[in-house]
A and B are shown apart, each in its own frame.
Chain A
């Protein structure tokens, strides 16, 4: 059983939902990332999503674009990101880490070389934003062979035929993008998401996380009522953008509030 699967099963048994924070690796500086990962876990994170900086983050809004730019000023590469995960694993062997990014850095390294290095570093899953199932056959085969969970996106626009295709290839969990748009967009409509999740659940037997538009404890709680996992990204990256002073403490505090609210979602 993969680390993601086991965390998800334990949560399900406790009738709790996964809290999945996202930060960009190397933002604001390479030295801060491992400490921030631990701070997120201290705040109640169940799984960490770590953004791999890319020069052309087409699917991201301004907040995460700027995070990528800050990291790239330090020339943070995919190999560096794997080194941060390896360092994190020295003291944390239980929290799954998912890398989220764009296809080209992985392509440049090569699927085999990447998967081997990722598993060695302690990475659990990979979400490649611009790699839909149609083009992912080869990479998914390699990732699964090495024990990496391929995480896929589903969108409000995704039709039945494509949900089935994603269900066939995905493992770990799927990430439902609650809005048409880029990361950091406006607030989500919970009723609308609930309806869509009912539709998706017919085809998926792995957990469904929801992201885009979750900005505070209240919206996280509302999503926790209907989804298996809550993903928070831009809101945390905004916190990073406020400056390094007390950053780890601020992230822990913010997530703790979210965690507490989520844990009242289904009582």
Chain B
């Protein structure tokens, strides 16, 4: 790449992806959001408050941890973990919700809404709504409400209203549909905190810019710890916010492979997965953006399969589709059973219970590490902790809690 990487364009396009595909009623609201965001991110007072809360409320910077025992057990490359699981609320999601809640406050909005899959973004939204004194409504697919019970209760404790969405496949995409419907109805009073680097412009850019703190810290920390950058950075991709957060600062660093890990479910070859990039899905339009999208020949959105609620989504953020197109990032899929194995391994060797979403990235790291030399380095974004997944894991193991 000779030209400096500068995406998206003024209208939110990342190559052929991105853009704004929403009903007319929302267009002016998105325009206003874009202008406020562009002003806020250049406003030193706004950014100082954002950084202050990341430090004192979230506990940033999150450490990088050398998973030495696990690396030795695998017997190949050395695996380092970016510990986003140690953030307040237990995942990377809060980096973004703080930024967006501050933006909502700046815009004079007293009510925030959010969609959530695994519940991590819902918890992070409910948390910041409490922190900044805002009303919060979280939309969550009814199936996810059932499989993420601890997070549902957590959101309620934090004062949020959780709405179980019964339409469609009753998962993350349906929660997003319902949040969009709420927003179009209450657009004057309400700020929509989208949880991933997807949706209509400016969301993919805005969420990325509130998540790049992950990758920026990594660059400094790796330099300090090892005097060098990793050979590859690995992160799980549903919508792709944790991945774009850690990838973005590395895009122009030569020699660092960027590897996004999608949910392979029962296996990409079975058709029961949530891996639009790995399965070479065609581009399509959903939730306000154009991007690679799992859909049938008639344009109907496909049902997805993953044991991880946070990755169970038919689309992907437009910047990932773009990074795939230009060949800067590689995308692979990890199946449910492989992610489970990595989940157990990290518990056993390192005393860390990872989120099922992050376990996909861990599984990919262990696969790659085994084929690499001991002087090579992998950096995995451990995007969240797995406490919320304990009921799912117990059920898989046939254990009654």
B24, B181, B186: the one contacting A132 at CB < 8 Å is B24
CA distance A181 to B186 in the complex (A): 7
Q: Counting CB contacts under 8 A, is B288 at the interface?
A: yes
B28 nearest in chain A by CB position: A157
Residues A180 and B24 in contact, CB atoms below 8 Å apart: no
What's the nearest-Cβ distance from chain B to residue A166, in Å?
8
Please tell me the size bucket of the interface on B: 35 or more
Q: Is the CB of B168 within 8 A of A56?
A: yes
Closest to B297 in A: A108
Known contacts A54-B300, A105-B299, A132-B21; A61 and B27 CB within 8 A of each other: no
- A19 within 8 A of partner (CB): no
Q: Is the CB of B24 within 8 A of A177?
A: yes
> In the bound complex, do residue A104 and residue B301 qualify as a contact, i.e. CB atoms below 8 Å apart?
yes
Cβ of A188 within 8 Å of any chain B Cβ, yes or no, is: no
- Chain A residues contacting B393 (CB-CB under 8 Å) are none
Expressed in whole angstroms, the Cα–Cα distance for A103 and B284 within the complex equals 8
Contact present for A65 and B285 (CB under 8 Å):
no
Interface residue ranges of B41-95 to A (CB < 8 Å): none
Please report the C-alpha to C-alpha distance between residue A69 and residue B11 in the assembled complex, in whole angstroms.
Answer: 33
Inter-chain contact B184/A158, CB cutoff 8 Å:
no
Task: Please measure, in the bound complex, the distance between the C-alpha atom of A190 and the C-alpha atom of B110, giving whole angstroms.
Answer: 29
CB distance from A200 to the nearest CB of B (A): 12
A56 contacts which chain B residues (CB < 8 A)? Answer: 168, 173-174, 177, 286-287, 301
Chain B binding surface, main DSSP class: mixed
The reply to whether the CB of B298 lies closer than 8 angstroms to some CB of chain A is: yes
Residues of A171-230 whose CB lies within 8 A of B: 177, 180-182, 185
Question: Which residues from A are CB-within-8-Å of B282?
Answer: 108
Task: Determine how close the nearest CB of chain B comes to the CB of A38; give it in whole angstroms.
Answer: 26
Whether, in the assembled complex, A55 has its beta carbon less than 8 Å from a beta carbon of chain B, the answer is yes
Q: Which residues of B contact A129 (CB under 8 A)?
A: 23
Contact of B28 among A61, A75, A162 (CB under 8 A): A162
Return chain B residues, CB-CB under 8 Å to A181: 25, 181, 184-185
Per-position binary interface string of chain B over residues 85-111, scored 1 when its CB falls under 8 Å from any chain A CB and 0 otherwise: 000000000000000000000000000
CA distance A159 to B300 in the complex (A): 32
A111–chain B nearest beta-carbon distance, Å: 12
- Which residues from A are CB-within-8-Å of B301? 55-56, 104
Q: A56-B168, A108-B299, A109-B299 are in contact. Are A130 and B25 (CB under 8 A)?
A: no
Residues on B with C-beta less than 8 A from A135 are: 19-21, 290
Contact B21 A180 (CB under 8 A): no
Give the segment of A9-17, A147-155, A242-250, A251-259 that binds chain B. Answer: A147-155
State which residues 136-195 of B face A: CB under 8 Å.
167-168, 173-174, 177, 180-181, 184-188
- Chain A nearest Cβ from B173, distance in angstroms: 6
Known contacts A56-B301, A107-B299, A132 near B20 by CB under 8 Å: yes
Which chain B residue has the least Cβ–Cβ distance from A174?
B24
Contact digits for B180-220, partner A, Cβ 8 Å, 1 yes 0 no: 11001111100000000000000000000000000000000
Q: Which of B284-309 contact A (CB under 8 A)?
A: 284-288, 290, 293, 295-301
With an 8 A cutoff between CB atoms, is A72 at the interface?
yes
Tell me, rounded to whole Å, the shortest Cβ–Cβ distance linking B77 to chain A: 41
Bound together, the chains give a CA A69 to CA B299 distance in angstroms of 15
Verify if A78 is at the interface (C-beta below 8 Å from B). Answer: yes
Question: Can you list, as one digit per residue, whether each of A72-116 has a CB less than 8 Å from chain B (1) or not (0)?
Answer: 100101110000000000000000000000111111110000000
Q: Is the CB of B28 within 8 A of A159?
A: yes
Contact A182:B181 (CB < 8 A) given known A105-B298, A153-B24: yes
Residue numbers in A under 8 Å from B21 (CB-CB): 103, 130-132, 135
**B184 touching A182, Cβ below 8 Å:** yes
Q: Out of A57, A134, A157, which one reaches B11, CB within 8 Å?
A: A134
B332 interfacial by beta-carbon distance below 8 Å: no
Asked whether A156 and B25 contact (CB < 8 A) given A108-B298, A180-B185, A180-B188, the answer is: yes
CA distance A248 to B78 in the complex (A): 71
Inside 8 A of A131's CB, which chain B residues have their CB?
21, 285
How many angstroms between the C-alpha atoms of A135 and B18 in the bound complex?
A: 10
B256: CB under 8 A from chain A?
A: no
A72 to B23 CA separation, bound complex (whole angstroms): 22
Q: Which of A128-151 contact B (CB under 8 A)?
A: 129-132, 134-135
Given the interface pairs A134-B19, A135-B19, the reply to whether A162 lies near B295 with Cβ below 8 Å is no
In the assembled complex, 22 residue pairs joining A and B whose CB atoms fall closer than 8 Å, in A order, are: A55-B168, A56-B173, A56-B286, A57-B177, A59-B23, A60-B181, A104-B295, A108-B295, A130-B23, A132-B24, A135-B19, A135-B20, A152-B24, A155-B23, A157-B28, A157-B29, A162-B28, A180-B184, A180-B185, A180-B186, A182-B184, A182-B185
Residues of A within 8 A of B (CB): 54-61, 65, 69, 72, 75, 77-79, 102-109, 129-132, 134-135, 152-159, 162, 177, 180-182, 185
**Closest 4 pairs between A and B when the two form their complex, measured CB to CB:** A108-B299, A105-B299, A77-B298, A155-B25
